[in-house]
Amino acid sequence: MYKRILVAVDGSENSVRAAKHAAHIASLDPDTKVDVLYVLDYDRTRSDVIHNAGRDDLHTDRKKRLAPIEAIFEQYHTSYEFTIKHGDPGPVIITHANEHDFNLVIIGSRGLNTFQEMVLGSVSHKVAKRVTAPVLIVK
Amino acid sequence: MVLKIMTWKEAWFGNIRGDILAGIVVALALIPEAIAFSLIAGVDPMVGLYASFSIAVIISFVGGRPGMISAATGAMALAMVLLVKEHGLQYLFAATILTGVLQVLWGVLKIARFMKFIPRAVMMGFVNALAILIFSAQVQYIFGISGMTYVVVLASLAVIYLFPFITKAVPAPLVAILALTAVVLLFGIDVQNVGNLGTITQSLPTFLIPDVAFSFETLKIIFPTALAMSIIGLLESLLTASIIDDITETGSDKNKEARGQGIANIITGFFGGMAGCAMIGQSGINVRSGGRGRLSAFTSGVFLMCLIVFLGEWVVLIPMPVLAAIMVMVSIGTFDWSSFSYLKKAPRADALVMVVTVLIVVLTGDLSKGVLAGVILSAVFFTAKISKIEVKKKVFPDSLQNIYTIHGQLFFASVQDFTKEFDDVQIGSRIIIDFTEARIWDDSGAGAIDRLIAKLTQKQVDFELTGLDASSIRLLDSLSIPYAK
């Protein structure tokens, strides 16, 4: 039933849990493919560039951040693919989810930055509201 | 991964609607900053406003990074304070032109490739020190003036941080300006405004030749400031360009950007503006508002000038506490908050480099001095780290054959005490010296091996060198050092 699953991650504990659910559901059917979407907002991008000299360092730094998530998919032997996008996480996830044909969208309930959530509202809430596919929010 | 650079046509006409809208948003955000940075530099608000107009427009043609916004900046304003105070405005124009000339030179010399030698800890120190300086420049407009000043500052901050709840379509700082200026006028609240600190001229900038003597004396006065500004400006511009590269997933020509910054500053100096550079914050506002091309920077400059010409008489009414609150927001946005977690995780030496960079900037008020100190300090730490050789000994009690493993780089600075590590080798014993984790870099390194071999031979030690890599062997061969028997 779930042939294509989108899971949005940001490297936080919750997103690792979300990835675990994605991997588990995907492992039930060998044909299922998981798209892992990592969205970097402006502040994150800015600090990434400040903290890394050059594009290679930047690439390695982000790869390391996503390593725990990669390990989960390896563990479940599911086929997966990473996509990194830049922008405001909510709208970017929504656009990406609606542009492609996903059967299920999975997202963690809380991101890294509580202050941002207070000011801008919860990303998972927006995603649940505006994505056309079924959405699973992992607490 | 190589990023593709936009074509000329893409950069101008690839995103017309997005670029024009973003340009307008940026222009609105530029006005308070241009005024505030002028006041930091100690010049009339028009100097910063003219600079922002001229730099934004010129860089849209000659810059190397479409989608990046350049204008009058805090980093540059801070670097010119002393020059303005001691020698006046005309010297600032001359220094701005010289800054541009130097930047064109750095661009021609392809300075961008040296950016990678600036340690990340120094970069973090740079943005954090900048944030602290911008904040401390506002203290005089916030603290110890009047109770009403505090009220207006707090009200402005509330609008700035809470208005995005309602909508993000209109920039919150603009809303704060409009709402609080209206309130202050309506109720006749007694607080300072921009008009108390400077004048706004509702006219386009005109060409001028700085009124300074064309002499060696003048050059001596402006050169140190111009040199510092040329470096600070390129540092912030190239850092910002890398951020925009990453966000937009398109490439940029960093050396062209350096030359472009130079051209923009030269022309700006001749039109009565102060030196500027790329702005991390404004460029962020631009891309978040949908700006991607050269057209957005162009629009922001032109729209800024229109606003000044048509609304200049209103600009002087902006209360200083509102402007100060906006700059507090700018400084909070400039600070790299993830530096705190970096300080906890990073090696002690790197953390120290960052702290020293910040401290030196804050103490001297000069970003270039902090960067220089940071670069030198991390070079010293790096040399100290790299010139440490460790010899690990594996002693087998029952056998005469012991293994010595060398860890590190053998070169002139590291080999002083190298042979001492082998003082305890027993006469007549047999050792294996393993170089798998080591490398010989120069004649001094090879010489140390030669001395070691002489020492071991004298002690009648039977030895074997293993794990040497090809380039180390070449060095030993070229000096005919008998490393293998």
Q: Which domain holds residue A101?
A: 4-138
Cβ–Cβ < 8 Å for A124, A107: yes
Say whether A119 and B336 touch across the interface (CB within 8 A).
no
User: Within this chain, do residues B177 and B320 fall inside the same structural domain, yes or no?
Assistant: yes
Number of neighbouring beta carbons within 10 Å of residue B297: 33
What are the chain A neighbours of B124 within 8 Å (beta carbons)?
Answer: 50-51
Question: Quick check: B421 contacting A, CB < 8 Å?
Answer: no
The structural domain count of chain B equals 2
- Selection from A9-18, A36-45, A47-56, B299-308 with the highest mean pLDDT: B299-308
Encoded amino acid at B135, one letter: F
User: Within this chain, do residues B190 and B330 fall inside the same structural domain, yes or no?
Assistant: yes
Helix (H, G, I), strand (E, B) or coil at B339: helix
Name the residue in chain A with its Cα closest to that of B128: A50
User: What would you measure as the largest C-alpha separation in chain A, in angstroms?
Assistant: 44
The yes-or-no verdict on residue A115 having pLDDT over 80 is no
- Selection from B259-268, B331-340, B467-476 with the highest mean pLDDT: B259-268
User: Within this chain, do residues B167 and B212 fall inside the same structural domain, yes or no?
Assistant: yes
Q: Tell the residue number behind the tokens 């004396």, with chain if given.
A: B217
Cβ–Cβ < 8 Å for A93, A123: yes
- How many CA atoms within 13 Å lie on the side-chain side of B227? 8
What are the chain B neighbours of A58 within 8 Å (beta carbons)?
Answer: 246
Domain boundary among B315, B349, B381: B381
The two beta strands, B401-410 and B390-394, are antiparallel
Q: What is the pLDDT of residue B112?
A: 87
The predicted-structure confidence for B414-447, as pLDDT tens digits, reads as follows 888 888 888 888 888 888 899 999 999 998 999 8
User: Lowest-pLDDT range, B12-21, B367-376, B392-401, B427-436?
Assistant: B392-401
The yes-or-no verdict on residue B6 having pLDDT over 90 is no
B242 occurs within a structural domain: yes
The yes-or-no verdict on residue A118 having pLDDT over 70 is no
Question: Quick check: A128 contacting B, CB < 8 Å?
Answer: no
The structural domain count of chain A equals 1
B316 occurs within a structural domain: yes
Q: What is the pLDDT of residue B42?
A: 94
User: Within this chain, do residues B184 and B315 fall inside the same structural domain, yes or no?
Assistant: yes
Q: Which domain holds residue B434?
A: 390-478
The predicted-structure confidence for B227-260, as pLDDT tens digits, reads as follows 999 999 999 999 999 999 999 989 999 999 999 9
The predicted-structure confidence for B269-296, as pLDDT tens digits, reads as follows 999 999 999 999 999 999 988 999 999 9
pLDDT band at B356 (very low <50, low <70, confident <90, very high): very high
Question: Quick check: A118 contacting B, CB < 8 Å?
Answer: no
What are the chain B neighbours of A10 within 8 Å (beta carbons)?
Answer: none
pLDDT band at B3 (very low <50, low <70, confident <90, very high): confident
Preferred mutation among B126, B247, B252, B289 to probe A, highest tally of A CBs within 10 A: B247
User: Within this chain, do residues B61 and B123 fall inside the same structural domain, yes or no?
Assistant: yes
B151 occurs within a structural domain: yes
Say whether B120 and A50 touch across the interface (CB within 8 A).
yes
B484 occurs within a structural domain: no
Question: Quick check: B169 contacting A, CB < 8 Å?
Answer: no
User: Within this chain, do residues B258 and B118 fall inside the same structural domain, yes or no?
Assistant: yes
Average pLDDT over residues B167-175: 85
Question: Quick check: A42 contacting B, CB < 8 Å?
Answer: yes
What are the chain B neighbours of A83 within 8 Å (beta carbons)?
Answer: none
- Selection from A8-17, B161-170, B172-181 with the highest mean pLDDT: B172-181
The yes-or-no verdict on residue B460 having pLDDT over 60 is yes
pLDDT band at B46 (very low <50, low <70, confident <90, very high): very high
Average pLDDT over residues B438-462: 90
Closest CA to B109 of B274, B262, B226, B224: B262
**What's the rounded Cα separation, in Å, for the pair B227 and B99?**
6
Rounded to two decimals, the ipTM of the complex is 0.84
Preferred mutation among B280, B338, B354, B382 to probe A, highest tally of A CBs within 10 A: B338
Q: What is the pLDDT of residue A37?
A: 94
B300 occurs within a structural domain: yes
Work out the minimum CA distance from B412 to partner chain A, whole angstroms.
28
Task: Please indicate whether residue B22 or residue B204 has the higher confidence score (pLDDT).
Answer: B22
Say whether B239 and A48 touch across the interface (CB within 8 A).
no
Work out the minimum CA distance from A1 to partner chain B, whole angstroms.
35
Cβ–Cβ < 8 Å for B275, B54: no
Domain boundary among B349, B381, B413: B381
Torsion of CA B474, B480, B481, B485, to 10 degrees: 90
User: Within this chain, do residues B375 and B410 fall inside the same structural domain, yes or no?
Assistant: no
**% of chain A at pLDDT higher than 90:** 47
**% of chain B at pLDDT higher than 70:** 98
Average pLDDT, chain A: 86
| Minimal Cβ distance to A49: which of B116, B243, B288 | B243
φ/ψ (deg, to 5) at A7: -125, 125
Say whether B120 and A53 touch across the interface (CB within 8 A).
yes
The yes-or-no verdict on residue B8 having pLDDT over 90 is no
pLDDT band at A121 (very low <50, low <70, confident <90, very high): low
Domain boundary among B381, B399, B431: B381
Average pLDDT over residues A57-66: 89
Cβ–Cβ < 8 Å for B253, B64: yes
pLDDT band at A120 (very low <50, low <70, confident <90, very high): low
Residue A83 is part of a domain; what is its CATH number? 3.40.50.620
Residue B417 is part of a domain; what is its CATH number? 3.30.750.24
**What's the rounded Cα separation, in Å, for the pair A99 and A78?**
23
* Pair of tokens at residue B218: 């003048």
Q: What is the pLDDT of residue B142?
A: 94
What are the chain A neighbours of B338 within 8 Å (beta carbons)?
Answer: 47, 51
Q: What is the pLDDT of residue A119?
A: 52
Say whether B118 and A48 touch across the interface (CB within 8 A).
no
**What's the rounded Cα separation, in Å, for the pair B438 and B407?**
5
User: Within this chain, do residues B377 and B435 fall inside the same structural domain, yes or no?
Assistant: no
The yes-or-no verdict on residue B101 having pLDDT over 80 is yes
B483 occurs within a structural domain: no
User: Within this chain, do residues B343 and B400 fall inside the same structural domain, yes or no?
Assistant: no
Say whether B118 and A46 touch across the interface (CB within 8 A).
no
Work out the minimum CA distance from B33 to partner chain A, whole angstroms.
20
Work out the minimum CA distance from A88 to partner chain B, whole angstroms.
8
Q: Which helix (H) or strand (E) holds B26?
A: helix B16-41
User: Within this chain, do residues B203 and B146 fall inside the same structural domain, yes or no?
Assistant: yes
Name the residue in chain B with its Cα closest to that of A44: B338
Say whether B249 and A86 touch across the interface (CB within 8 A).
yes
Say whether A86 and B246 touch across the interface (CB within 8 A).
yes
Work out the minimum CA distance from B94 to partner chain A, whole angstroms.
32
The yes-or-no verdict on residue B39 having pLDDT over 60 is yes
Question: Quick check: A120 contacting B, CB < 8 Å?
Answer: yes
Average pLDDT, chain B: 91
Report the DSSP beta bridge partners of residue B394: B403
Name the residue in chain B with its Cα closest to that of A115: B161
User: Within this chain, do residues B377 and B394 fall inside the same structural domain, yes or no?
Assistant: no
User: Lowest-pLDDT range, B207-216, B292-301, B397-406?
Assistant: B397-406
Question: Quick check: A55 contacting B, CB < 8 Å?
Answer: yes
Say whether A119 and B120 touch across the interface (CB within 8 A).
no
The predicted-structure confidence for B102-161, as pLDDT tens digits, reads as follows 999 999 999 888 888 899 999 999 999 999 999 999 999 999 889 999 999 999 999 999
Task: Please indicate whether residue B304 or residue A30 has the higher confidence score (pLDDT).
Answer: B304
Say whether B284 and A42 touch across the interface (CB within 8 A).
yes
How many degrees, rounded to 5, is the angle at CA B374 between CA B371 and CA B377? 150
The yes-or-no verdict on residue B401 having pLDDT over 80 is no
Q: What is the pLDDT of residue A127?
A: 86
Question: Quick check: B396 contacting A, CB < 8 Å?
Answer: no
Q: What is the pLDDT of residue A109?
A: 81
pLDDT band at B219 (very low <50, low <70, confident <90, very high): very high
Say whether A53 and B342 touch across the interface (CB within 8 A).
no
User: Within this chain, do residues B405 and B469 fall inside the same structural domain, yes or no?
Assistant: yes
For residue B324, what are the contacts with CB-CB under 8 A and spacing of at least 6? B36, B138, B141, B142, B153
